[in-house]
Amino acid sequence: MNRSVFVVLPVYNEGRVVASAIAPLLDRGYTAVAVDDGSTDDTWPIIRSLPIHSLRHPVNLGQGAALQTGMTYALEHGAEYIVHFDADGQHRVEDVDVLLEPLRKKEADVVLGSRFLRDEDRRAVPPVRRMLLKGGVIFNGLLTRVWLTDAHNGFRAMTREAAATIGLRENRFAHASEILIQFRRNRLRVVERPTAIIYTDRSQAKGQSSLNAIKIVVDMILRRIFR
């Protein structure tokens, strides 16, 4: 029954980490779809050798584009549920089922992971990041009119029908706001579930800096002007 759960992992220059992130997913019987977003290192040979669906963008396009490619592919291959999962090991495999539960009970079309629903998860977020994320929550709420407790978590699950209504055009990080707009426009039922985030040095280092937050805002504003 887990085979129709397609876990989409956008990957960029982190092949080795992905290999270890994918093993527990396969143990649980999920179908993994890794989308190499035009990596310049040995990521592609590594994920190609794994027993998963592996795709590769010939050029680097951004995380949003990789997610959309993975979703389109998963829908074409009979996915019943689609999960967005971070390849760098910051999401816990156990939480996939937590996100799927409301979908299986038909109580929601989209389930988003949140670091701000349980005290222990909240405390695990570094204070500076916590403030930045709260700013993101407000920004997203104003922009998308979807009010959540967390921003740019990246851990999402949705039904096949919901995923089919999504078409991300925002290639880079602004896709996280764009997808919320589409959830609302397509009248999907969105709920949040508590998920833990594992902050490794690695995910800290490559995680979104404050500068990225500004870039996202600029991207979104320009997009509003131009379409």
Partner 1 sequence: MRPVQFILIVLLLFVIYVYFSRLRSGLLDRLIVLLFAAVGIVMTVVPDLTTRIANFVGVGRGVDLFFYLTLLGLAFMCLLLYSKIRDLEATITDLARAVAIKKAKPPSSDTPRVPDNN
Which of 27, 23, 22, 20 is CA-nearest to residue 2? Answer: 27
Smallest separation, CB 181 to partner 1 (Å): 17
Residue closer to partner 1 (CB basis): 78 or 126:
78
Residues in the chain: 227
Residues that bind partner 1 (CB under 8 A): 31, 35, 38, 48-49, 51-59, 61, 65, 68-69, 72-73, 76, 169, 171, 222, 226
Residue closer to partner 1 (CB basis): 134 or 223:
223
Smallest separation, CB 88 to partner 1 (Å): 20
In one-letter notation, the amino acid at residue 200 is: T
15 close to 41: Cβ distance less than 8 angstroms: yes
Q: DSSP strand E in 23-115: where?
A: 31-36, 53-56, 81-84, 110-114
Smallest separation, CB 176 to partner 1 (Å): 17
Q: At what angle do helices 175-185 and 127-144 cross, to 10 degrees?
A: 40
Residue closer to partner 1 (CB basis): 70 or 154:
70
Which of 224, 146, 206, 201 is CA-nearest to residue 10? Answer: 206
In one-letter notation, the amino acid at residue 156 is: R
Residue closer to partner 1 (CB basis): 119 or 226:
226
Smallest separation, CB 223 to partner 1 (Å): 8
